[in-house]
Every structure is written in structure tokens, then in C-alpha cells.
Amino acid sequence: MHRKMATLLAGALLATGATAHAAGDEEEKAVEYRESVFHVMGHNFKPMGAMMKGEIDFDAEEFATRAERVSQLAHMPMEGFMEGTADVADSEAKPGIWENWEDFQGKMEDLQETSAELAEVAQGGDKGAIAPKFKAVGESCKACHDDYKED
């Protein structure tokens, strides 16, 4: 249901935002929304990284909870990428997103898939089994950031 919903919403938002116009309240709210989602995601992802690197103790229960959150959050930001939101001040999203919408959407779906796999394997609490799945999520993040996020 999640995927279908995201696609529906994205389509609807693209349709309503098809006319070029300056950033208004709607657009600013969309940017604030997506940035909030990514902030919550990053806050949960960071300690998972520290655990995998051995910077802090590996806590299987905490890791699994955070992995589940990242997987849930991966379904939330898309509606914040409505047309016209590239112009909003302080947005870190590159205009290339809307020029390559299907590629961007595909990369978000990659994150949804890799983070779901990580959340599932994290239930087992086996750090060795978790490692490649965690790496895949990191690569999903990076693939999108490299192309579509301002440094």
C-alpha cells in the first residue's frame, strides 16, 4: 500500500504543481516536511553507523528499533518533493530531481527496499548478517545525495 500511495501522491502533487510559480506557503511547508523526515531518519541512522563501526557498543535491540524506524520513514518524504519546491530558500534539493523524476523516484524506492531488508535482518540481532544490509542502505542514501542533494 505504501508504494502505491507514494506514487499516487507524487503524481497528484506533480499535477497540481505543473504551473511554474514562485515558492509560496505550500512549497515552504513541503520543504519543511521533507527536511523533518530526513532529520528524524538521520538521527536514527547515525547511531546505527556508530555501532557498525564499533564506535559505540552494538545493542541489538536498539539497532533493530532504529532500523525499523528508518524503514518506516523511507515511505514518508516523497510528498514533500512537490513541483516548485526547488526554488524555496535553503532547500538542499537540486532541480535535477524534477528533471529526472523517474530516476529520483526509483532511488527513493531503492531506499525503501534496502531499509526494509535491513529492518528484517536486524530482528535477528546478528551483526555479521546485518553488515552488508546496512552497507546497502548507506549506498541508497549516497546514490541519491550524490545526484540530488546540494553539499
- Tell whether the torsion through CA atoms of 77, 79, 80 and 85 is positive or negative: positive
Comparing CB distances to its own copies, the nearer of 65 and 100 is: 65
118, 70 in Cβ contact below 8 A? yes
2 assigned ligand-binding residue:
no
Residue 145 is labelled as binding a ligand = yes
Q: How far apart are CA 37 and CA 33, in angstroms?
A: 6
- The count of other CB atoms within 10 Å of the CB of residue 115 is 27
Q: Rounded distance, CA 118 to CA 121, Å? A: 5
Our finding on whether 74 is near its own copies (CB under 8 A) is no
| Interface region with its own copies, contact rule CB under 8 A, candidates 16-24, 64-72, 101-109, 136-144 | 64-72
- From residue 24 to residue 63, the character string flagging contacts with its own copies as x (rule: CB under 8 A) and all else as - is -----x--xx--xx-xx--xx----------------xx-
CB of 43 to its own copies, least distance (A): 5
34 Cβ contact list (under 8 Å, min separation 6):
77, 80, 81, 93
According to the binding rule CB under 8 A, does residue 64 interact with its own copies?
A: yes
The annotation places the binding site for heme c at 141, 144-145
Footprint on this chain of its own copies (rule: CB under 8 A): 1-2, 4-5, 8-9, 29, 32-33, 36-37, 39-40, 43-44, 61-62, 64-65, 69, 72, 75-76
